[in-house]
């Protein structure tokens, strides 16, 4: 069902066409350049991933360190009931497509993982995550972890560290409605736990992201070769 909703939302968006685009509204990122080839550039070392303890969909406590080390990680924040077509559904669709491509890419299996962390630990319980992630096919070639926190108090420092601002939309009477405003960001993390790229909506170019991931994979290969040559 989730996939169907995503597909419908994206189809509706695609039908709008760019010529009618309102520059004040979020739009689908579009890429009018040939991305530099993987391994021909260096990604910056932006910041270290902080420590945090989260819950997976089986209600097991998982240190974030365990989920951001040893593999190249693409991490994002979301909430299960998000309906903003340029928010979580877009990220989900994009990540699904990237995952398929990376799993089909020779030599990538087991070296990349995806991580999605909920903004709302109260609503997004492990049970809610299980339902939400039900459509994601389990595949050891590229695991996709869905996580929540035990409390907002435990999640807040993590959101702050990642620079994820969130706020609940209010109605005219000042009452909260069922929308959490947040800035969509995806974080690309190297196997040492360092954030190497951050993508906001206008930077979510699938081709470029594949090249970035491959750039980090090539770095690993170079480091391994250097280690053996020493």
Give the footprint of another protein on this chain (CB under 8 A).
Answer: 18-19, 21, 23-27, 29-33, 35-36, 40-42, 44-47, 119-123, 128, 152, 156, 161-163, 165-168, 176, 178, 180, 183, 185, 187, 195, 198-203, 208, 212
Element housing 74 (H / E): strand 72-78
Q: Please identify, using beta-carbon distances, which residue of 57 and 142 lies nearer to another protein.
A: 57
Q: Please identify, using beta-carbon distances, which residue of 107 and 174 lies nearer to another protein.
A: 174
Q: Please identify, using beta-carbon distances, which residue of 124 and 142 lies nearer to another protein.
A: 124
To another protein, the closest distance from the beta carbon of 185 in angstroms equals 6
Q: Please identify, using beta-carbon distances, which residue of 140 and 177 lies nearer to another protein.
A: 177
70 closest CA partner among 212, 162, 194, 208: 194
Q: Where are the alpha helices (DSSP H) in 17-151?
A: 64-67, 88-104, 126-132
To another protein, the closest distance from the beta carbon of 208 in angstroms equals 7
CB 205 within 8 A of CB 194: no
Instruction: Dihedral sign for Cα 198, 75, 118, 93, please.
Output: positive
To another protein, the closest distance from the beta carbon of 147 in angstroms equals 16
To another protein, the closest distance from the beta carbon of 199 in angstroms equals 6
Q: Where are the alpha helices (DSSP H) in the chain?
A: 2-16, 64-67, 88-104, 126-132, 152-161, 206-229
- Give backbone dihedrals phi and psi of 98, rounded to 5 degrees, phi first: -60, -40
Q: Please identify, using beta-carbon distances, which residue of 110 and 163 lies nearer to another protein.
A: 163
């Amino acid at each position: 069902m989730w996939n169907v909703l995503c597909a419908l939302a994206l189809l509706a968006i695609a039908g709008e066409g760019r010529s009618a685009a309102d520059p004040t509204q979020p739009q689908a990122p579009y890429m009018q350049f040939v991305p530099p080839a993987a391994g021909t550039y260096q990604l910056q070392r932006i910041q270290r991933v902080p420590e945090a303890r989260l819950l997976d969909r089986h209600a097991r406590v998982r240190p974030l360190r365990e989920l951001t080390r040893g593999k190249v990680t693409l991490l994002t924040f979301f909430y299960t009931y998000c309906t903003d077509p340029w928010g979580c559904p877009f990220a989900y669709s994009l990540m699904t497509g990237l995952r398929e491509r990376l799993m089909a890419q020779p030599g990538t299996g087991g070296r990349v993982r995806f991580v999605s962390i909920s903004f709302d630990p109260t609503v997004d319980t492990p049970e809610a995550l299980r339902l939400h992630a039900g459509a994601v096919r389990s595949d050891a070639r590229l695991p996709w972890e869905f996580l929540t926190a035990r409390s907002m108090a435990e999640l807040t420092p993590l959101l702050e560290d990642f620079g994820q601002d969130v706020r609940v939309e209010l109605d005219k009477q000042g009452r909260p409605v069922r929308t959490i405003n947040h800035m969509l960001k995806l974080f690309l993390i190297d196997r040492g736990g360092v954030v190497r790229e951050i993508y906001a909506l206008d930077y979510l170019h699938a081709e470029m992201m594949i090249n970035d991931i491959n750039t980090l994979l090539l770095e690993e290969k170079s480091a391994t070769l250097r280690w053996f040559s020493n």
